[in-house]
Structure 1
Amino acid sequence: MPALTNSAELPEPGFIRLAALVNVVPISKASIWRLSKIGRFPAPVKLSANCTAWRNSDINNWIRERQ
């Protein structure tokens, strides 16, 4: 997996959608879903029937663990 170069943290509390998440972490949409499914990436949260997002705090923690 590529090194994380984005040192800016996401604002907490808050959520980030997949389209924006791929600009924060250097992995593809498909890899995000695959890693989430096997527990190597934070699990998404279902905000409504048509809206899935990730908690900013979970993403920030995941990035910190890899730096």
Structure 2
Amino acid sequence: MSARLSQSGGAATVLPREGMSRWQQLSHFVPVSRETWRKLGLAGRAPAAIRLSERCSLYSNVEVHRWLADPIGYRQEGSAV
């Protein structure tokens, strides 16, 4: 499934099931702030960021969809928490 673009501004209306996304692309689908998302990721309760460089982080769309399906019960694979 590919992301559909809205008529105004080009924001995705559907998060692709596969691939990677930056926070700016995810923020429309995730009901928490960027800082809360970062803290949840560090705790293993949301998908962890994949660092490409010092200023570029990506998130796995597969993992984000897993989190959206069960935000309270989500645990990162291999997480001891």
Distance 2:19 2:40 in 1: 21
For structure 2, the 5+ residue unaligned runs are: 1-12, 72-81
Offset, 1:14? 1.1
1:5-48 per-residue CA deviation (whole Å, 9 max, x = no partner) reads xxx76213211111222211110011001111111111111233
Q: Please point out which of 60, 64, 78 is paired with 1:59.
A: 64
Match of 1:24 in 2: 29
- Normalised to the residue count of structure 2, the TM-score between the two structures is 0.62
Segment of structure 1 superposing worse, 17-26 or 41-50: 41-50
- Give identity over the alignment, percent: 31
Kindly tell me the number of residue pairs found equivalent between the two proteins: 59
RMSD of Structure 2 on Structure 1 (CA): 1.8
More helix by share: 1
Higher relative contact order (CA 8 A, sep 6+): 1
- State the TM-score, normalizing by the size of structure 1: 0.73
Whole-Å separation in 1 of the counterparts to 2:14 and 2:68: 9
Structure of larger gyration radius = 2
Query: Are the equivalent residues in 2 in contact too, given 1:32–1:41 (CA < 8 A)?
Result: yes
